[in-house]
Structure 1
Amino acid sequence: MEQREVTVRFCETDALGHVNNTSYFIYLEEARIHFFSSMGYPMDVKRWNFILASTKCDFTNQGYFNQVLTITTSISRIGTKSFELEHQILCAQTGNQIAKGNAVIVYFDFEKQTSAAIPEVLKSKLEVHAAQGGAAI
């Protein structure tokens, strides 16, 4: 399981004083980029083979300015052309869940403009990561 911390900036809150719903998707994106980098796939647009097919976020509690949030990322499913990530956004101080998210990532051949089978080397890394995080494959 990968873990990332973010501190809520003032610009990420709204008139009601809590984190705006769109900000959570930015946090999840940051967690995904960190996840890919930790797997040996840093952001390099010339060698990038992933597209975000679907993303979702459920808001379970309110987050506030200057609150430290911990975002965990784990693998919940590995298919032949895609895999799924699960995210938890927790208050770093209390451990209370603030939100939970999900993302479907497709392995993509940009030259052919079509999805492609996940290469065995990547699939093996995903399986090891999933096993270490306790996620089901």
Structure 2
Amino acid sequence: MTDVTPAWLPLRFRDLDAYGHVYHAEYLTLLDDARTQWFTQLGLSGDGDYVLARMEIDWVSPLGPADRSVRVDFAVEAVGTKSLTLAETMYADDGRAVARSRSVTVRWDRAAAASLPLTPADRRILEELRATEGRP
């Protein structure tokens, strides 16, 4: 089984907007940083990268100056030929959910500027995670 430890990402003063809460677009940056750490922890990508193809997000609770960090939990929803769909939940350091999102990433060949099939190793890791999470 592949072990994944959720990373805590610090919130920065620059993340706050004029209303004193984390600007909505910063959630996407935090999710991207967490997703990159998650991919790295799992050892995904091999000779290709994963790029974001689709993103949807529900903001659940605001983050403000009292919040020092966030963590993101990932669940594998679907493993395609070239893509991966993740359910993502972001939590503040006090444990409350602040955002729920779904991302679709595609394995990408930079040189060819084209999508690539998932490697057998990546597919094995992702399918194992999906099965462990009880997803069909």
TM-score bucket of the superposed structures, by smaller chain: 0.7 to 0.9
Q: Report which stretch shifted further, 74-83 or 47-56.
A: 47-56
Superposed CA deviations along residues 69-125 of structure 1, whole A, max 9, x for unmatched, are 2211221111111111121111221x2211112211112233433223212111001
Task: Quote the Cα distance in structure 2 between the aligned partners of 1:50 and 1:70.
Answer: 20
Q: Runs in 1 of length 4+ with deviation above 6 angstroms?
A: none
Q: Distance in 2 between matches of 1:87 and 1:10?
A: 24
State the match for 1:23 in structure 2.
Answer: 26
The DSSP-based 3-state class of the residue aligned with 1:3 is coil
1:26-105 matched pairs, under 5 angstroms: 26-41=29-44, 47-67=47-67, 68-93=69-94, 95-105=95-105
Structure 2, unaligned runs of 5 or more: none
RMSD: 2.1
Look up the SS of the partner of 2:6 in the other structure.
strand
> In structure 1, how many angstroms separate the alpha carbons of the residues matched to 2:127 and 2:5?
14
Give a deviation string over 1:51-73, Cα, whole Å, max 9, x none. 21112221111111241322112
Q: 1:111 and 1:11, CA in 2 relative to 1: closer, same or farther beyond 3 A?
A: closer
Question: Which secondary structure does the structure 1 equivalent of 2:127 belong to?
Answer: helix
Of residues 65-74 and 20-29 in structure 1, the stretch that sits farther from structure 2 once superposed is 65-74
TM-score by structure 1 length?
0.83
Matched residue count: 132
Contact 1:13 1:19 in 2 (8 A): yes
Cα distance, 1:8 vs. partner? Answer: 1.9
CA distance in 2, matches of 1:125, 1:39: 8
Identity %: 23
The answer to whether the Cα contact below 8 Å between 1:50 and 1:108 also exists between their aligned partners in 2 is yes
TM value normalised by structure 2: 0.84
CA distance in 2 between counterparts of 1:6 and 1:64 reads 14
Map 1:110-125 to 2 at 5 A. 110-125=110-125
State the 1:135 CA deviation: 5.3
- How many Å separate the matches in 2 of 1:135 and 1:21? 31
